[in-house]
Amino acid sequence: MPLVFVPTPLGNLRDLTLRAADTLRDAELVVAEDTRVARKLLHALGFDPREIWSYREQNAERATPSIIERARGGLVAVTSDAGMPGISDPGSALVAAARAAGIAIEVLPGPSAALGVAVLSGFTLQRFSFEGFPPRTSGARRARFEQALCRGDTTIWYESPRRVRAALRDLAIVAADAQVFLVREYTKLHEQQLWGTPEQIVAGLADPVRGEVAFAIGPYRAAAAPQTQEETSAAIDALLEDGKRVGEVAKLLAARGFGDRRQLYASASARKARGKSPVKRG
């Protein structure tokens, strides 16, 4: 019997496909991130109560062998709280384990917030990457954004409503003029769409931010590398005068194409120690 990955609605119950409904109706076991969410969905569909197991990051390693064993003799449906299971959850590890055990695997097509925000953004999608959740700390977030933007492709992100403002402000430090498209509560009654620079998106969000958040960053090309040392020095001085720390100066200018971050850090440190000496002209 197969192990079937069943995408579930992001918000609108009518987004559930007929095949997904059939699978949930016929499954002997439903595997879910949160059993309460799965029971609510099954109840809304009018299906009889059935066995539901929890499968999440905290118990994935322990639960996997039992799920595989059940799939040997009956239909097992794997769901997430919303959208495609296996995206930003341990589902991919379950697929690998099932394949190694010789269990048939099916993945049904269905809702995906990542693809939804990608298409809604209007950014070019000839090449794009799904980046998942940014790191939780500010420094790591900035480094991750800088790395992603350097590729020059559209990037798709998820973020917690509690951290999205901080994440966008870190993005603004790395690339203040980046173009961002954000969707909050995609497919739900109070869906919100915002487009603009990181700071413009922050200004458009309610306080506090509530609901699921996904955003896309359009292809970003850093400014051309400066031709002279004077231009680099002037850019460093301007950021130092704006109150930026040396490390922030180096990251920001590296993302703009001013050169190697380590060399920029050394130059910024030296200029700060000298009191941001004026750039000599002529």
The model's confidence at residue 77, banded by pLDDT at 50, 70 and 90, is very high
In a domain, 101, yes or no: yes
Q: How many residues does the chain have?
A: 282
The model's confidence at residue 66, banded by pLDDT at 50, 70 and 90, is very high
Residue 257 has pLDDT above 90, yes or no: no
Question: How large is the average pLDDT for residues 225-232?
Answer: 73
Q: Which of 107, 133, 162 is the last residue of a domain?
A: 107
CB neighbours of 215 closer than 8 A, spacing ≥ 6?
A: 117, 156, 157, 159, 164, 168, 180, 181, 182, 183, 201
Host domain of residue 32: 3-107
Q: Are residues 238 and 194 in the same domain?
A: no
User: What pLDDT is attached to residue 31?
Assistant: 96
Pick the more confident residue, 168 or 276. 168
Q: Which of 107, 130, 150 is the last residue of a domain?
A: 107
Which tens digits make up the pLDDT trace of 181-206? Answer: 999 999 999 999 999 999 999 999 99
Residue 281 has pLDDT above 50, yes or no: no
Question: How large is the average pLDDT for residues 214-237?
Answer: 80
Pick the more confident residue, 205 or 252. 205
Question: How large is the average pLDDT for residues 59-70?
Answer: 93
3-state secondary structure 81-148: CCECCCCCCCHHHHHHHHHHCCCCEEECCCCCHHHHHHHHHCCCCCCEEEEECCCCCHHHHHHHHHHH
Q: How many domains does the chain have?
A: 3
Q: Are residues 85 and 147 in the same domain?
A: no
Distance of CA 178 to the CA centre of its chain: 16
Mean pLDDT of all residues belonging to the chain: 90
Question: How large is the average pLDDT for residues 94-112?
Answer: 93
Q: Are residues 23 and 47 in the same domain?
A: yes
What's the CA gap between 215 and 179, in Å, rounded?
Answer: 10
User: What pLDDT is attached to residue 188?
Assistant: 92
User: What pLDDT is attached to residue 223?
Assistant: 54
